[in-house]
Amino acid sequence: MVRTVKLRVRVNHEVYFALEEVVKEYGGILEDALEYGLRSGVNSFVRLKAGIYGAERERHGGLPSHYIYTACEDVSMRLKSFLRLRRLGRAYTDRPELRSVTVHLDDHLWRFGLDAIQVATKRGWVGLEPQYHRLFWMYLNGGWGLASEARFKLLKGNVVEIYLVFKKGEPEPYEPKGFLPIDLNEDSVSTIVDGAPVLLETNNRKITLGYHYRRLAITRGKSTGDRDVRGRLRMLKERDRKLDARRKLAKLIVMEALRTRSAIVLENLPKRAPEHMVKGIRDKQLRLRIYHSAFSSMKRQIIEETREYGVPVILVNPSHTSSLCPIHGARINYRPNGSNAPRVGKCPVGGELWHRDVAALYNLLRKAGDGRPMPLASTGPHDPHVIKMNVRPRAKSLHSIMSKMKVQGQTVSEA
């Protein structure tokens, strides 16, 4: 497992100047390596290095020689991914583009220290003194090892952005004692905690639409190349905020599975199915955006979290998950008597009522091979408990939210 942590450090003018010199020369080596790779049809690190090392060494006297190594590695990766894209017909340029330069560092080019990070330049080692943030300490003290490679780039105002890479081996998944079904929806994530169905409201659709309209308001009648427009779009931080919310929700789910030593059961969703999963949105791009953040990105985030803790995952066939009665296997009628409450339906065999998400959860359990008896049919619908997730949920665990809910009543607007 690999995680990258980004730090921003303000440095004095001399340090910035020394690093700027490295960036310029490194950028030159990148271009030469790319040129050479394309001209001679090679893309392996070894052959790129063999091809340009001598000339670059001469051209960049005084620059630590390992920058030539890391630049060749960088170009080798860029060429390989470019060729892959071209094979898939998804390369839109005739050669890989080198836009902003991010300098790659290996163990000869930087040294880590809690007081300062040293970087090798033509003028010797220069020190960066970062303010380490919470995420950094979390990885450092959480059993992650700092990798020998790092990257940096220069921002305006004497600011250096440095990327530290943390690595950790994946634990072996444990033998599950039970199953934790997870049903992903446009606006919610459902699961079963302590035997009770729970619907965690994410408001994904509303949030995505909100960002969409704010983005439209910013760009209306203006070019997106406009500096002011770009700055205001960045200020929205849509991606960061949604990722943050997703990560926290995924963590709550994975922690619940870990607590009960369960395997997480997810639908193996089709890669492209926004058509029927996101309804009532005509804009195709917007529909995709909602689909991705609610389904594929959420699923990916949960799976990524499980790797860290060795929580097993079972992917099951998504067909009919919410349309069949988990007890009788009959097709649930979601519009009895033409009513417009499509979330709750009636089983034609037992006559019991089912909330769509709850039916999905029990069907997921069944598909995963859980042999426990299904909940007894009752006359009322199996309504889930509803938890409204804040954008930044604070709760430690789903179990604790549920315990609190049993004291307070049905709906908890906290998390």
Cβ proximity to Zn ion: between 28 and 375 the closer is 375
Closer to Zn ion by CB, 292 or 328: give it. Answer: 328
Q: Would you say 347 or 402 has its CB closer to Zn ion?
A: 347
With CB atoms as reference, the residue minimizing the distance to Zn ion is: 347
Looking at the Cβ atoms of 67 and 362, the one nearer to Zn ion is 362
**284-291 helix and 204-219 helix, angle to the nearest 10 degrees:** 140
Report the nearest approach of Zn ion to the CB of residue 327 (Å). Answer: 4
Compute the least distance from the CB of residue 186 to Zn ion, in Å: 25
Choices 207-215, 264-272, 315-323, 345-353 (CB under 5 A): range interacting with Zn ion: 345-353
Nearest approach in angstroms of CB 265 to Zn ion is 21
The nearer residue to Zn ion, 117 or 365, going by C-beta atoms, is 365
Binding mask 349-388 for Zn ion (x = CB under 5 A): xx--------------------------------------
> Which is closer to Zn ion, CB of 234 or CB of 335?
335
Could you tell me which stretch among 60-68, 193-201, 239-247, 348-356 binds Zn ion (CB under 5 A)? 348-356
Per CB under 5 A, the segment of 23-31, 95-103, 164-172, 342-350 that binds Zn ion is: 342-350
Q: Smallest distance, Å, CB 238 to Zn ion? A: 42
Cβ proximity to Zn ion: between 223 and 379 the closer is 379
Residue placing its CB nearer to Zn ion in the complex, 75 or 359: 359
Cα angle for residues 400, 265, 393 (degrees, 5° grid) = 35
Q: Which residues lie closer than 8 Å to 189 by C-beta, 6 or more apart? A: 182, 183, 199, 200, 202, 249, 253, 298
Can you read off the two tokens belonging to residue 258?
């870990």
In the complex, minimum distance from the CB of residue 362 to Zn ion, in angstroms, rounded to a whole number: 10
Stretch that binds Zn ion, among 30-38, 192-200, 227-235, 347-355 (CB under 5 A): 347-355
Query: CA 296, CA 276: separation in Å to the nearest integer?
Result: 14
- Closer residue to Zn ion, CB minimum distance, 318 or 345: 345
Distance CA 312, CA 368 (A): 12
How many other C-beta atoms can be found within 10 angstroms of the C-beta atom of residue 181? 27
Q: Which residues inside 303-332 make contact with Zn ion, applying CB under 5 A?
A: 325, 327-328
- Give least dist CB 349 to Zn ion, A: 5
Size of the site for Zn ion (CB under 5 A): 6
Rounded CA-CA distance 195/313 in Å is 19
Question: What is the nearest approach in angstroms of Zn ion to the Cβ of residue 350?
Answer: 4
Are 353 and 359 in contact by the 8 Å Cβ rule? The answer is no
Q: Are strands 110-111 and 117-121 parallel, antiparallel or unpaired?
A: antiparallel
Closest CA to 33 of 60, 3, 61: 60
* Shortest Å distance, C-beta 328 to Zn ion: 3
Cα 96 → chain centroid: 25
* C-alpha span between 364 and 372 (Å, rounded): 12
Nearer of residues 303 and 349 to Zn ion, judged by Cβ:
349
Q: Which of residues 191-230 bind Zn ion (CB under 5 A)?
A: none
CB of 372 to Zn ion, least distance (A): 17
Q: Smaller CB distance to Zn ion: residue 5 or 359?
A: 359
* Least distance in angstroms from the C-beta of 345 to Zn ion: 10
Give least dist CB 365 to Zn ion, A: 15
Among 101, 266, 311, 347, which residue interacts with Zn ion (rule: CB under 5 A)? 347
Binding site for Zn ion (CB under 5 A): 325, 327-328, 347, 349-350
